[in-house]
Amino acid sequence: MTEDPGAEGDMRLPDLWYQDEVPVLLCRGADKPLRLRLPPGLAETLWSRRDQPGGPRWNAVQRCWQAPAPRLGAMASQILRGAGQLWLVQPLVGAEAPGCALPGKPCACATLETGELARAQRSRWCEVTDSFEDHDGPEPLLCRLFRAG
């Protein structure tokens, strides 16, 4: 894998999910828990107290961290602060895709919902520097690389 996972133009979610350089936050909807894949050692840096209510929990079966879906903005912001970058993967919503797919431009679409990450985007605290769509699974997904500004 190259240092820029989206550089080759044929990136897919499995490639992104199993790389170990940039954290990945997968959100499949409000009724499903968030899934997080973090580079080695980053979890200990981000969550020194794992007994926090609503905090992430390790899922040994799926080999990833999980957190309640309503914590999307808080989790994304915390990861961006700690790691400086984050791949955010969410269901693709057709009307919102064009604006989200412009690297270097802020994205404040409804898929970000309201909260810390959306405010960060509007204030240029972070920006989308790469993006791609994955249509291989049961639902199309939009994958965006956010970098702290």
122 compared with 56, residue with greater pLDDT = 56
Give pLDDT, residue 35.
Answer: 95
Compute the average pLDDT of residues 43-64.
77
- CA-CA distances (angstroms) from residue 130 to 1, 5, 76, 121? 16, 9, 16, 14
Nearest to 113 by CA among 53, 30, 34, 35: 30
What is d(CA 53, CA 31) in angstroms, rounded to the nearest whole number? 18
Q: Are strands 85-91 and 24-26 parallel, antiparallel or unpaired?
A: parallel
Q: What is the pLDDT of residues 72-100, one digit of tens each?
A: 888 888 888 889 999 999 888 754 444 44
Where does the pLDDT of residue 28 fall: very low under 50, low under 70, confident under 90, or very high at 90 and above?
Answer: confident
Give pLDDT, residue 122.
Answer: 52
Where does the pLDDT of residue 41 fall: very low under 50, low under 70, confident under 90, or very high at 90 and above?
Answer: confident
Q: Is residue 89 a contact partner of residue 13, using CB atoms and an 8 Å limit?
A: yes
pLDDT over 70 percentage in the chain = 66
